[in-house]
Amino acid sequence: MVHLIAIDPSGNFLSKEGKGTTGWASFDSDGSLMNYGDVRAKEYDTTENYWGAIISKIMAAHPKIIVCESYQLQPGKAMAQSWSDLETPQLIGAIRHIAWSKNVKFIFQPPSIKPRFADHILVRMGIAETKNNKIFMVQGMRSNDHQRDAIRHGLYYFKYGVKK
């Protein structure tokens, strides 16, 4: 049974930054990785369909906890984001609201936690392996940065955040 879903969100659908990819990872109650994947904006025809697919993926697992990478506009990037629709924080708000409406605990974690579970650490933990300079998860599936970032958020929660 899924206990926690960790999300590396990208709401970008119409933005000048391009189409986004949202990574997700599910964990059981002891912190073991169960599954992972992503939802890609380029596979949908509207923002709402893309965001709906992300929310459906999350809620279909009936998690007790959702861990989501937070979004903060950094001063050094503020000018580059001028006139942006800020789609990612909108998506995060939609996920947070659905979690609230379903009485699912919602936790933010900053992007800065990811180096604690860098790729070489995932390999050392036996969660991932390297083949031809590409990272594969132990399940044998190739992974991308968004999927691994979601996995990192889940691992971080179980190692450091579960006590809070």
- For residue range 13-58, list pLDDT tens digits in order: 765 566 789 999 999 999 999 999 999 999 999 889 999 999 999 9
In 3D, which of 137, 132, 135 has the Cα closest to residue 32?
137
- What proportion of the chain, given as a percentage, has pLDDT over 90? 59
- For residue range 68-96, list pLDDT tens digits in order: 999 876 667 666 666 567 788 899 999 99
The ranges assigned to domains in the chain are 4-161
pLDDT at 129: 86
The pTM of this model reads 0.88
Q: Which fold has domain 4-161?
A: Nucleotidyltransferase; domain 5 (3.30.420)
pLDDT at 1: 75
* CA 10 distance to own-chain centroid: 8
pLDDT at 146: 92
Report helix angle 47-60 to 87-101, nearest 10: 40
List the single range of 48-57, 106-115, 154-163 with lowest mean pLDDT: 154-163
CA distances from 37 to 8, 16, 83, 86, 147 (A): 11, 24, 31, 23, 6
